[in-house]
Chain A
Amino acid sequence: MAGEAKIDPMHQFMITPIGSDTLAASPFQFTNSSLWMLIVFAAILAFMWGGMKRQIVPGRWQVAVEGMTGFLDNITRTSIGAEGRRYLPWVFTAFTFILFSNWIGAMPFAIVPGAHPFTVTSQFSVTMFMSVLSFAIVLGVGFWKRGLHFFSLFVPKGAPLPVKMFVAPIEFVSFMVRPFSLGLRPFIAMFAGHVLLDVFGNFVVQGLNAGGPLGYAISALCFVAVIGVNALELLVGAIQAYVFALLTALYINDAVNLH
């Protein structure tokens, strides 16, 4: 019989120090979050290196790697145009990091005793940092390429002056909201999904603890629900990575091509 379940769906988002007893407010503090970032990095490296045989007739792994780079190359080229390849490294970095974080966070590593999986992208401090980076690239490219002309992005072309006066502030606000919406989206998806998984998982254990036909029935039902939510989590994890990459490419397109 499982032990008394502690219902704290937030516990999984706690950052705990590794190698020291208490968290220090220092950039070099190594935490479980840092550890899982490095695991994500290692997984990406392993995946990409596995596809580096560079054969003319590719194997399965190479096809997977080429499929992913081709997919992202396609996003940047269709969104930005011929210049898109310059921005592929960042779009690739953002996509793979979010995708691998989401998926590795959804893996049942906790089945190994002592392992505490951690979803890096369930921290808005991480996703916001990435969206601000994307936004900084947009601003940097925009002002470097267009100078102060970049502000014409907010003015609708061909509209009469009163409409311009009215729309430009709205456009400006919507532009400034972009980094928040871009960073909150993957965070919310992972956060909500993992809370849901934790709650349903707790129901499975609590049903078993309660015993009786009703308890077992609830337990079984919630187990099926956990499987379904997990599948959904994998889908959402991929979609969020895609959305982040696509929006980053579209925002960069605004800066490169100005409308």
Chain B
Amino acid sequence: MPQIAQLALVYQSQWFWLLVVLAGIYFFVGKGIVPKVEATVDNRDATIAADLAAAEAARAGADAAEEQLRANDLAARGNAQATTAEAKAKAAKAGEVRLAKAEAKTAKLLADAEARIATSRSAALASIEGVAAEAAAEIVAKVSGAKVTAAAAAKSVKAVLANG
């Protein structure tokens, strides 16, 4: 077994070169490169975590914005409905007022016209009495030659007319 047979001869160089190589690995790689690799891994983990958090925040923001939008939409619809109802009510009220005004006007016109008709009728009736009395007086004069006073004629006519 050369490991034992040669041991006395080689152990010094074995240990020396092993120590050199192990120290090289320890300081160059173990203390130099490995922490950097670990830092890269940690950095990546942190980046991924941050990205995930940012994505989560963005999603929450989008959700909130959508909720806000929906609320706004709802409010706007409510506003519009209220405005429409108000306008409708106003329009209905205005129509009623105008109708009432027009009705009043019509009623007044009607009343005026009726009054005018009544006056014209009574005037016409009065003038008919006069004409009838004159005619009656003239008819009396022509038929009998008697002179009838206008007052008597009017009185007679009136009586006849009243009796109908």
Partner of B36, one of A30, A41, A54, A55: A54
State which residues 55-98 of B face A: CB under 8 Å: none
Residues of B within 8 A of A258 (CB): none
B33, A49: Cβ atoms closer than 8 Å: yes
B30, A93: Cβ atoms closer than 8 Å: yes
Residues of A within 8 A of B16 (CB): 27-28
B38, A73: Cβ atoms closer than 8 Å: yes
Residues of B within 8 A of A62 (CB): 40
B54 CB → nearest A CB, Å: 15
Interface residues on A, range: 35 or more
B38, A14: Cβ atoms closer than 8 Å: no
B10, A23: Cβ atoms closer than 8 Å: yes
Say yes or no: A26-B13 contact (C-beta < 8 A), given A69-B34, A89-B34, A92-B30. Answer: yes
Partner of A88, one of B14, B28, B30, B36: B30
A30, B43: Cβ atoms closer than 8 Å: no
A40–B29 alpha-carbon span in the complex (Å): 13
A38 lies within 8 A of chain B by Cβ:
yes
B1-41 near A? 1/0 per residue, CB < 8 Å:
11100111111111111111110111011110110111011
A153–B155 alpha-carbon span in the complex (Å): 159
A10–B3 alpha-carbon span in the complex (Å): 9
Q: Residue among B9, B16, B31 with the most chain A CB within 10 A?
A: B9
A108–B43 alpha-carbon span in the complex (Å): 40
A29, B12: Cβ atoms closer than 8 Å: yes
A89–B2 alpha-carbon span in the complex (Å): 32
B21, A41: Cβ atoms closer than 8 Å: yes
A15, B41: Cβ atoms closer than 8 Å: no
Residues of A within 8 A of B11 (CB): 125
Q: Residue among A10, A48, A51, A88 with the most chain B CB within 10 A?
A: A48
How many B residues have CB within 8 A of the partner chain?
A: 37
Residues of B within 8 A of A41 (CB): 21, 24-25
A60–B12 alpha-carbon span in the complex (Å): 40
A151-170 near B? 1/0 per residue, CB < 8 Å:
00000000000000000000
A133, B36: Cβ atoms closer than 8 Å: no
B41, A37: Cβ atoms closer than 8 Å: no
A56, B15: Cβ atoms closer than 8 Å: no
A45–B25 alpha-carbon span in the complex (Å): 8
B9, A90: Cβ atoms closer than 8 Å: no
Q: Whose C-beta in chain B lies nearest to the C-beta of A124? A: B3
Partner of B6, one of A23, A28, A54, A96: A23
A55–B39 alpha-carbon span in the complex (Å): 11
A52 lies within 8 A of chain B by Cβ:
yes
A238 CB → nearest B CB, Å: 18
B37, A69: Cβ atoms closer than 8 Å: yes
B101 lies within 8 A of chain A by Cβ:
no
B31, A129: Cβ atoms closer than 8 Å: no
B108 lies within 8 A of chain A by Cβ:
no
State which residues 45-85 of A face B: CB under 8 Å: 45, 48-49, 51-52, 54-56, 58, 62, 65-66, 69-70, 73
A18-39 near B? 1/0 per residue, CB < 8 Å:
0000010111111101100110
Residues on B lying within 8 angstroms of A by beta carbon are 1-3, 6-22, 24-26, 28-31, 33-34, 36-38, 40-41, 43-44, 47
10 contacts between A and B (CB under 8 A): A13-B2, A27-B13, A31-B14, A38-B17, A41-B21, A41-B24, A51-B37, A93-B26, A125-B14, A126-B14
